Structure 1
Amino acid sequence: MTQTAQRTPLVELTGVSKRYGSVRALEGVSLQVHAGEITCVLGDNGAGKSTLIKMVAGLHQHDDGVLRIDGEETHLASPREALDRGIATVYQDLAVVPLMPVWRNFFLGSEPRKGTGPFKRLDVDLMRRTTRQALLRMGIDLRDVDQPIGTLSGGERQCVAIARAVHFGAKVLVLDEPTAALGVKQSGVVLKYVAAARDEGLGVVLITHNPHHAYLVGDRFVLLKRGTMTGSHTRDEITLDELTQQMAGGSDLEELRHELQRT
Structure 2
Amino acid sequence: MDRTGTPLIEVRNLVKHFGSVIALNGVSMHVSAGEVLCLLGDNGAGKSTLINTLAGVHRPTAGEFLIEGRPRVFSSPRDALEAGVATVYQDLAMIPLMSVTRNFFMGQEPTVGFGPFKRIDMKRADDITRAEMKRIGIDVREPQQAVGTLSGGERQCVAIARAVHFGAKVLILDEPTSALGVAQTSMVLKYINQVRESGLGVIFITHNVRHAMAVGNRFTVLNRGKTLGTFAKGEIAIDELQNLMAGGKELQAVSAELGGTV
Moved more, 247-256 or 43-52: 247-256
Q: Are the aligned partners of 2:42 and 2:207 in contact in 1 as well (CA < 8 Å)? A: yes
Q: Which residue of 2 aligns with 1:126?
A: 124
Q: 1:50/1:262 Cα in 2 relative to 1: closer, same or farther (>3 Å)?
A: closer
How many angstroms apart in 2 are the aligned matches of 1:90 and 1:262? 39
| 262 and 84 in structure 1: CA distance in 2 versus 1, 3 angstrom threshold | closer
Deviation at 1:139, TM superposition (A): 2.6
CA displacement at 1:3 relative to structure 2: 4.7
1:181 Cα deviation from its structure 2 partner: 1.5
Contact kept, 8 Å, 2:8 with 2:33, in 1: the verdict is yes
Normalised to the residue count of structure 2, the TM-score between the two structures is 0.95
Shift of 1:260: 3.5
Query: 1:13: which partner in 2?
Result: 11
Report the CA distance shift for 1:28/1:112 in structure 2 as closer, same or farther (over 3 A). Answer: same
The 5 A counterparts of 1:1-263 are: 3-5=2-4, 7-261=5-259
Work out whether residues 38 and 206 of structure 2, in 8 Å CA contact, stay in contact via their aligned partners in 1.
yes
Measured in 1, the distance between the counterparts of 2:182 and 2:135 equals 24
Percent identity of paired positions between Structure 1 and Structure 2: 56
Cα distance in structure 1, aligned partners of 2:17 and 2:114: 50
- Taking the aligned partners of 1:13 and 1:112, their CA distance within structure 2 comes to 35
Inter-partner Cα distance in structure 2 for 1:252 and 1:15: 24
d(CA) in 2 for partners of 1:256 and 1:61?
A: 37
1:71-112 CA distances to partner (integer Å, 9 max, x unpaired)?
001111111110000001001111111111101110101011
The count of corresponding residues between Structure 1 and Structure 2 is 261
Whether the 8 Å contact between 2:130 and 2:141 is mirrored in structure 1 is: no
| Gapped regions of structure 1 (runs ≥ 5) | none
Read off the aligned partner of 1:117 and give its amino acid letter: G
Indicate the SS of the match to 1:89.
Answer: strand
CA distance in 1, matches of 2:80, 2:27: 19
- TM norm structure 1: 0.94
Structure 2 gaps, min length 5 = none
In the superposition, relative to structure 1, how do residues 117 and 45 fare at CA in structure 2: closer, same or farther (>3 Å)?
Answer: same
Give the whole-Å Cα distance in 2 for the aligned partners of 1:185 and 1:248.
26
Letter in 1 for 2:58: H
